Chain A
Amino acid sequence: MSVDKALEGAGGFLDDRFRGAKSVRNLLKKIFPDHWTFLLGEIALYSFIILLLTGTFLTLFFKPSMTDVIYHGSYTKLNGVHMSDAYASTLNISFDVRGGLLMRQIHHWAAILFLAAIMAHMLRIFFTGAFRKPREINWLIGVTLLALGIVEGFAGYSLPDDLLSGTGLRILEGVLLSIPIVGTYISFFVFGGQFPGNDLIPRLYIVHVLLLPAIILALVSAHLFFMFHQKHTQMPGKGRTDQNVVGAPMYPYFMAKTGAFFFFVFAVCAGLSTFAQINPIWLFGPYNPAAISAGSQPDFYMGWLEGALRMMPAWQINFLGHSLALGVFIAGLLVLGVLITGLAMYPFLEQWVTGDKREHHVLDRPRDAPTRTAIGAGGVTFYGLLWLIGGNDLIARFFDIQLYWTTWFGRVMVIVGPVIAYIVTKRICLGLQRKDRALLEHGVESGIVMMKPTGEFVEVTRPLPEEARAVLTSRKEPLRLPAGHAADENGVPSPATRGVMGKLRVRLNHVFAEEIPLPDGHGNGHGNGHPELPAGAEEKPALPEGSGQSGPTGRT
């Protein structure tokens, strides 16, 4: 049998040299839980691989040079036009290299997919609380990857030196100039002098093809290694606890699934590149600082920064002979910094507020952490509004709305919107908790109404199946401060709850711990006046075995 031969041959050869039989076997047997949202990170990973493959191909033809050339080539409309070598070589890749356009488009689509998948993956991690202990470090790596991915994407689409991307670089110059004290110097050092200079494209090139990909690759490896080492989280369900992991082994199941998924991601990128044109740089023309086209839009992941620049009021401070373009500085750099820093800090802030130092491996359902979900919804609304206003000229055109109204809408809503989203989301979550509680207490409506001999009408309910109940009762009761920080016997409050920060912490904790309590014993339909249909599953008064901490005994 060939498997045996391979094992004896290659396997034996390797094991004689590395002694891997035991550790690799453990790796092969590693259990991977299954849920469709776990694929989001994989999309990011595979688009990154596609980026490396197609990007390497593009470097074989691209000339990262701003040397002025006069074009004479296949794209006759630009014959005789001055342009940079970078732009000319991009035209060359598009029109004179067979498959060059396809590779360029796959590269661009994969970049967009990469960032979209990172964002979606991050939202999944956030809303399910997967960033909690012990995974805070991996969350930080993820946030860093998002930031680096945005920079990498920006550097990448700036390389062709076309009119659209050159405008993006011009905006970068303006934003750099707005930095207090050192802005002018930073701009001159980045551009090698005045904008646009002759150095930027070669510099961006090495950042784009070596520096950032190397860092991203290293961080992705660390990200995956930690995920492997700590084992994947799992969605709540029957028999799933913080002490186990339920799923299928990596070999052959996960390997085959993930392999198939790589093919799908590549197929999607290739399909988009076949049918959906992206970044047709030949239509934009070479960069010229005095030219622009209306409706200039960056790639989607820069849209929110564009929106911030658009909706920001024209704030500028002049003092002591200095100018501070506050509006540009806030929109271009501060918003980015605040959002990324906020994301990075969140797990630690939440831990501080909840006082929860337990290990978590079973994910939260978003409704079971209403405050976190509401904060996330606020953040998404903030980002979404910035992003939306990044295209306000197009919105104004297509929906026939006054342009300035869209800006004012953005200015107001970017403040008000997140607050509304927070309140509404929290109410929705608590409402869903109430629904869960009702299901646990009364069971599922059967649609049958029964008349008792006394003439009373009652609705017949069916108790929840065990699987569903395990999901509904997976919520861990939040820790309430000052539990464990209670006043001592003399009535002196614990140091942790004193002072401004202590009091703030207790108040936030109470906000965070707001919930609709699960019914005592998590309910099973008994003693609530409802008659019951005989359930298929045998009813048990408590939780199914093995649900450990999520059971009533596990409540702290």
Chain B
Amino acid sequence: MTEDDKRLEGRRGDQASEQDPGSARRRRVIGTPPPAAARRLLGDGGTGDRPPAPVKQRELPAELPNPQRAKRAERVVALCFMISFLASAAFVACYVIFQVHSVDKVLRSNLGLGLAMTIAFLALGVGATIWVRHLMPQVELTEARKPLASSEPDRQAFAETFKEGAEASQFVKRPLLRRTLLAASTALAIAPIVLLRDLGPLPRKQLRYTAWRKGSRVVVLGTNRPLRPADFASPGGIITVVPEGIDNDLDALAKAAVLLIKFRPQDLLAPTVINWTVDGIVAYSKICTHVGCPAALYEHTTHHILCPCHQSTFDAQRGAKVLFGPAPRPLPQLPITVNAEGYLVAQSDFHEPVGPSFWEMG
């Protein structure tokens, strides 16, 4: 028995007193720590007779080199934690004080709650960092790495176990079982894919047509006001229109949005189809042929239509042909005319698909 062990034995005597009333009971002053070294940490495992753990060299120092600095750091950390505590309290206070339901109030509430939350987290983080850096004794330890690969005997043992299992299962020996199992599981894995079929309808020819029909009245997007040629006072006007009656049908709107642009009749040049215009008013699809953003920017002096998403540029004067950018096709032109009441109407639907190109478009 070493000296240490003897000392341990001695201390264990204290401890044992609780279980063993026969042993000498030493008085301990209230408030002093119990003889910790002898306590069996993690309990006694229910058996009550585990041997005491051997005393080892500690790996981490318990004391700091400079207790005064540590004391100072401790105060700073405690201050940080108190700030965090107060900020959390402030967070609750802000929740109660700042009401919402209007932009200004929401922004005030956001400022109050956010600030309190930021400070609460920040102070906690700062405190914890100072704690680690100034209150925990700095250590640098080295741990050995074992090679990641298993040892050769282990690998061999594994291979044997695996082979034995494979042989016992008869999987290797009986190709009929193996192949039918493979066939069955493959089929089962593939079969449920049909369930995805009902995710949506088949495209059929839906992308070829829009809500424009022969005689559809041209109405202004948003106000639904029908238009007459005389509503365009001077060349250069531009307005987004839709066929009458699509209201809030976004699916229809996504294909049917049209730009009406007023030119002087003589300014419209090929390949603009003049028969599809009315008194210099030309109608182009607003849906960019690149990836479908609304080509909404119009430069009055150059007659350029620009898509703000990817900057495809179309020449409104010349059949909306592509001047620059990634769009591969001109914006389709909608044939328009004037009906008996003098309103602008469509002669027909577009003669080609609007929007982004797709495989079946041709």
Chain A residues in the interface with B (C-beta under 8 A): 1, 4, 7-9, 11-13, 15-16, 21, 29-31, 68, 74-75, 82, 94-102, 105, 134, 167, 170-171, 173-175, 177-185, 187-197, 199, 230-231, 239, 242-249, 252-253, 256-257, 259-264, 266-267, 270-271, 273-275, 282, 287-296, 306, 309-316, 318, 321-325, 327-328, 331-332, 359, 361, 392-393, 403-404, 407
Q: Is the CB of A270 within 8 A of B141?
A: no
Q: Complex: how many Å from CA A391 to CA B93?
A: 42
Q: Complex: how many Å from CA A7 to CA B39?
A: 10
Q: Complex: how many Å from CA A310 to CA B109?
A: 40
Q: Is the CB of A253 within 8 A of B311?
A: no
- The verdict on A12 contacting B43 (CB below 8 Å), with A174-B355, A247-B141, A316-B329 known, is yes
* Set of chain B residues within 8 Å of A294, measured between Cβ atoms: 297, 308
Q: Complex: how many Å from CA A30 to CA B296?
A: 60
Write 12 A-B pairs (CB below 8 A) sorted by A numbering: A8-B39, A12-B43, A15-B43, A96-B100, A102-B117, A167-B293, A177-B359, A178-B291, A190-B199, A264-B129, A273-B110, A404-B324
- In angstroms, how far is the closest chain B Cβ from the Cβ of A169? 10
- The verdict on A407 contacting B325 (CB below 8 Å), with A95-B102, A178-B357 known, is yes
Tell which of A15, A193, A291, A310 touches B200, judged by Cβ atoms closer than 8 Å: A193
- Annotate B116-158 by CB proximity to A: 1 below 8 A, 0 otherwise: 0110011011111101100010111111110110000000000
Q: Is the CB of A271 within 8 A of B114?
A: yes
Greatest chain A CB density within 10 A among B110, B136, B141, B207 is at B110
Tell which of B121, B200, B201 touches A263, judged by Cβ atoms closer than 8 Å: B121
Q: Complex: how many Å from CA A264 to CA B248?
A: 47
Chain B residues in the interface with A (C-beta under 8 A): 33-34, 36, 39-46, 59-60, 95, 98-103, 106, 109-111, 113-115, 117-118, 121-122, 124-129, 131-132, 136, 138-145, 147-148, 196, 199-203, 206-207, 221, 240, 242, 248, 250-251, 253-255, 257, 286-287, 290-294, 296-297, 308-312, 322, 324-329, 355-362
Q: Complex: how many Å from CA A309 to CA B43?
A: 66
Q: Is the CB of A267 within 8 A of B118?
A: yes
* Set of chain A residues within 8 Å of B361, measured between Cβ atoms: 322-323
- The verdict on A191 contacting B200 (CB below 8 Å), with A264-B122, A271-B118 known, is yes
> Which residue from chain A places its CB closest to the CB of B247 in the assembled complex?
A82
Q: Is the CB of A196 within 8 A of B251?
A: yes
Tell which of B147, B286, B359 touches A359, judged by Cβ atoms closer than 8 Å: B147
* Set of chain A residues within 8 Å of B140, measured between Cβ atoms: 246-248
> Which residue from chain A places its CB closest to the CB of B133 in the assembled complex?
A257
- In angstroms, how far is the closest chain B Cβ from the Cβ of A107? 13
- In angstroms, how far is the closest chain A Cβ from the Cβ of B63? 15
Tell which of A16, A242, A252, A271 touches B45, judged by Cβ atoms closer than 8 Å: A16
* Set of chain B residues within 8 Å of A256, measured between Cβ atoms: 128, 131-132, 136
Q: Complex: how many Å from CA A509 to CA B201?
A: 53
Q: Is the CB of A99 within 8 A of B113?
A: yes
Q: Is the CB of B200 within 8 A of A323?
A: no
Q: Complex: how many Å from CA A9 to CA B328?
A: 73
- In angstroms, how far is the closest chain A Cβ from the Cβ of B151? 15
- The verdict on A290 contacting B324 (CB below 8 Å), with A74-B100, A195-B251 known, is no
Q: Is the CB of B114 within 8 A of A270?
A: yes
* Set of chain B residues within 8 Å of A359, measured between Cβ atoms: 147-148
Q: Is the CB of A293 within 8 A of B356?
A: no
Q: Complex: how many Å from CA A195 to CA B203?
A: 11
- The verdict on A1 contacting B34 (CB below 8 Å), with A248-B141, A290-B242 known, is yes
Tell which of B103, B131, B221 touches A290, judged by Cβ atoms closer than 8 Å: B221
- In angstroms, how far is the closest chain B Cβ from the Cβ of A24? 10
Tell which of A244, A260, A274 touches B132, judged by Cβ atoms closer than 8 Å: A260
* Set of chain B residues within 8 Å of A187, measured between Cβ atoms: 203, 358
Tell which of B106, B128, B357 touches A260, judged by Cβ atoms closer than 8 Å: B128
Q: Is the CB of A296 within 8 A of B145?
A: no
- In angstroms, how far is the closest chain A Cβ from the Cβ of B261? 15
Q: Is the CB of A195 within 8 A of B254?
A: yes
Q: Is the CB of B117 within 8 A of A68?
A: no
* Set of chain A residues within 8 Å of B362, measured between Cβ atoms: 318, 321-323
Q: Complex: how many Å from CA A487 to CA B60?
A: 56
Q: Complex: how many Å from CA A244 to CA B148?
A: 12
Tell which of B102, B117, B206 touches A270, judged by Cβ atoms closer than 8 Å: B117
* Set of chain A residues within 8 Å of B255, measured between Cβ atoms: 194
Q: Is the CB of B129 within 8 A of A260?
A: yes
- The verdict on A174 contacting B291 (CB below 8 Å), with A190-B199, A267-B125, A289-B253 known, is yes
Q: Complex: how many Å from CA A259 to CA B115?
A: 21
Q: Is the CB of A249 within 8 A of B290?
A: no
Tell which of A249, A262, A264 touches B139, judged by Cβ atoms closer than 8 Å: A249
> Which residue from chain B places its CB closest to the CB of A9 in the assembled complex?
B43
* Set of chain A residues within 8 Å of B358, measured between Cβ atoms: 177-178, 183-184, 187, 323, 325
Q: Is the CB of B148 within 8 A of A257?
A: no
Q: Is the CB of A4 within 8 A of B248?
A: no
- In angstroms, how far is the closest chain B Cβ from the Cβ of A287? 8
Q: Is the CB of B356 within 8 A of A245?
A: no
Q: Complex: how many Å from CA A440 to CA B274?
A: 81
| Extra inter-chain contacts (16) besides given A95-B101, A184-B207, A393-B311, CB under 8 Å | A30-B143, A98-B95, A102-B109, A167-B293, A170-B292, A175-B291, A184-B358, A282-B103, A289-B250, A306-B310, A310-B325, A310-B326, A312-B326, A318-B362, A325-B356, A332-B291
